């Protein structure tokens, strides 16, 4: 059966959210000791105003609006205001150096750049003469710097001169997302409304997301994973996001926001694993014994379940240990977590099995910025530890003769901006994207990543090998 995406543009995502979820909370920001929540209606009011404000600065169809900021509601406001003008959003990281900022702003021909505060604005102003297309620097802080338009002025301008949302085509570019290669300057990945909306629709198809769900947003929205799988997808389903104060405050914020869903990278789970292993090594005898027993019982239950068997004794032991041990560790995640989705890198089998033993289900997936980003995922009812799952609806993968993963589907990027030679290298004759990753697919369709094409070494017998599996064992 052919996949029929729910959304074809991010404007459709926005319209649906405004129509169906107006009074529900959307973004939570910590202030004065507590999280304060912006509703969907409040968000929409700001989007409408900033759309008019950007139009007053000359932004229109085909233009680019850049943003240099960590996650915050105004980041998302700027994004949806930009889409509504038929322009493309170009996110940058505050942690990048001036040289990378200059390259990206110049390469994308950004007309307006939104900055998180006056200090960032001053840095951009320092090389503004090298950006002939840059019309305005807008500070999202209450007080900007010299030569910067305050966010409040943009809101006022838009409210005085509102501009209706434009009906965009699915094939119009919605985002420039720059990826850093191992060599050379960052490349601008052109993602269309169809690319992004299709991935949002596919994720919604396989993951149960409800308006009552809540996440803690700590993955940068400047990255395709955080932006598409968290921001756009949760927004499309009426869910809410508490915005983490900082990396150092993630654990504390988890307990405050009490997420039901979590979009993460392996590093977070590795930290929990390392903490518990340290307790096993250094904690008291009883505590260490309980942790070891919890993990052992969980491992035995998994083996039996894999054989289609069960044990009443193990089931009862699991319930007791869950109350004594696992529930207390889950409380670090807020105590309400239904599941987590992990991408960006592979979770080791050891850590994945450990997290499972605690009663936390982590679904691992695979993707790249060039594929908008998710290609495959484990999901409820279709999960295999060690794999990165099956293809999302509407996506097709094939393996080349040398084992490279080739991706086909509406999620595949339009191309790299201004780099025809690079595009010729990564696209196949039939429009597939060469990922550079090697993999294998089992008999049930689960994908396993086995290495990178460039990591291959030629042996004396002429065969090629990839060191990654051996390195993991070491």
Sign of CA dihedral 401, 404, 406, 407: positive
Low-confidence stretches of the chain (pLDDT < 50) are 457-464, 466, 469-474
Give the whole-angstrom CA distance, residue 275 versus residue 292.
14
Distance of CA 100 to the CA centre of its chain: 21
Note whether 60 and 86 are within 8 A (CB).
yes
* The residue to which tokens 């300057």 are assigned: 185
The three-class DSSP label of residue 445 is coil
Give the whole-angstrom CA distance, residue 148 versus residue 171.
33
Length of the chain: 474
CATH topology of domain 362-473: Luciferase; domain 3 (2.30.38)
pLDDT in the model for residue 252: 93
User: What would the 3-class secondary structure string for 382-421 be?
Assistant: ECCCCCCCEECCCEEEEECCCCEEEEEECCCCCEECCCHH
Q: How far is CA 459 from CA 179, 349, 404, 471, in A?
A: 32, 29, 19, 17
The three-class DSSP label of residue 58 is coil
CA neighbor of 5 nearest in space, from 236, 194, 190: 194
Domain with CATH 3.40.50.12780 in the chain: 10-264
pLDDT in the model for residue 303: 76
Q: Which residues pair with 173 in a beta bridge?
A: 192
CA neighbor of 48 nearest in space, from 73, 77, 5, 11: 77
The string of DSSP codes covering 272-283 is HHHHHHHHHHHS
HSE at residue 205, side-chain half, CA atoms within 13 A, is: 20
pLDDT in the model for residue 456: 52
Express each pLDDT in 222-277 by its tens digit.
999 999 999 999 999 999 999 999 989 998 999 999 999 999 988 888 888 888 78
pLDDT in the model for residue 471: 47
The contacts of residue 105 (CB under 8 Å, 6+ apart) are 66, 90, 92, 113, 124, 131, 134
Note whether 236 and 313 are within 8 A (CB).
no
Two tokens at 43?
A: 């968000």
Two tokens at 403?
A: 């084992």
Two tokens at 384?
A: 């295999």
pLDDT in the model for residue 267: 85
User: What would the 3-class secondary structure string for 206-250 be?
Assistant: HCCCCCCCEEEECCCCCCHHHHHHHHHHHHHCCCEEEECCCHHHH
Q: Largest alpha-carbon pair distance within the chain?
A: 74
Q: Which residues pair with 415 in a beta bridge?
A: 190
Distance of CA 444 to the CA centre of its chain: 27
To the nearest 10 degrees (0 to 180), the angle between helices 73-83 and 40-56 is 60
Domain with CATH 2.30.38.10 in the chain: 362-473
Express each pLDDT in 388-404 by its tens digit.
999 999 999 999 999 99
10-264 classified as CATH 3.40.190.10: no
Give the whole-angstrom CA distance, residue 264 versus residue 425.
31
Note whether 202 and 411 are within 8 A (CB).
yes
pLDDT in the model for residue 455: 59
């Amino acid at each position: 059966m052919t996949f029929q995406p729910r959304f074809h543009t991010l404007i459709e995502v926005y319209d649906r959210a405004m129509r169906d979820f107006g009074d529900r909370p959307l973004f939570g920001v910590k202030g004065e000791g507590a999280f304060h929540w912006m509703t969907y209606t409040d968000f929409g009011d700001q989007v409408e105003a900033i759309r008019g404000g950007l139009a007053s600065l000359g932004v229109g169809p085909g233009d680019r609006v850049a943003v240099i900021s960590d996650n915050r509601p105004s980041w998302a406001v700027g994004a949806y205001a930009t889409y509504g003008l038929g322009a493309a959003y170009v996110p940058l990281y505050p942690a990048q150096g001036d040289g990378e900022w200059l390259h990206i702003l110049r390469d994308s021909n950004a007309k307006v750049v939104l900055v998180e505060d006056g200090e960032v604005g001053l840095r951009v102003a320092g090389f503004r003469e090298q950006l002939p297309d840059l019309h305005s620097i807008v500070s999202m802080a209450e007080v900007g710097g010299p030569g910067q338009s305050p966010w409040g002025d943009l809101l006022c301008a838009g409210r005085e001169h509102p501009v209706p949302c434009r009906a965009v085509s699915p094939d119009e570019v919605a985002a420039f997302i720059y990826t850093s290669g191992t060599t050379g300057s960052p490349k601008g990945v052109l993602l269309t409304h169809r690319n992004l909306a299709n991935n949002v629709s596919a994720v919604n198809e396989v993951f149960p997301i409800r308006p009552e769900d809540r996440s803690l947003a700590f993955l940068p929205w400047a990255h395709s994973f955080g932006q598409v799988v968290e921001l756009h997808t949760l927004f499309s389903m009426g869910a809410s996001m508490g915005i983490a104060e900082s990396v150092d405050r993630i654990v504390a914020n988890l307990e405050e926001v009490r997420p039901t869903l979590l979009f993460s990278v392996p590093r977070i789970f590795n930290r929990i694993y390392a903490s518990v292993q340290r307790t096993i090594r250094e904690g008291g005898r009883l505590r260490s014994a309980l942790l070891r027993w919890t993990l052992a019982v969980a491992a035995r239950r998994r083996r039996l379940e894999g054989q289609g068997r069960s044990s009443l004794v193990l089931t009862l032991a699991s319930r007791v240990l869950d109350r004594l041990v696992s529930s207390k560790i889950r409380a670090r995640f807020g105590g309400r977590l239904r599941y987590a989705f992990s991408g960006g890198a592979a979770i080791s089998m050891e850590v994945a099995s450990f997290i499972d033993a605690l009663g936390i289900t982590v679904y691992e997936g695979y993707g790249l910025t060039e594929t908008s980003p998710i290609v495959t995922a484990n999901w409820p009812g279709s999960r295999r530890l060690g794999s990165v799952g099956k293809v999302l609806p509407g996506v097709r993968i094939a393996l080349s003769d040398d084992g490279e993963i080739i991706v086909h589907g509406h999620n595949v990027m339009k191309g790299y901006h201004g780099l025809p030679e690079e595009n010729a290298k990564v696209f196949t004759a039939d429009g597939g994207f060469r990922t550079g990753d090697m993999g294998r697919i089992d008999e049930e369709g689960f994908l396993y990543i086995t290495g990178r094409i460039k990591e291959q070494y030629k042996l004396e017998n002429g065969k090629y090998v990839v060191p990654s599996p051996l390195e993991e064992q070491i």
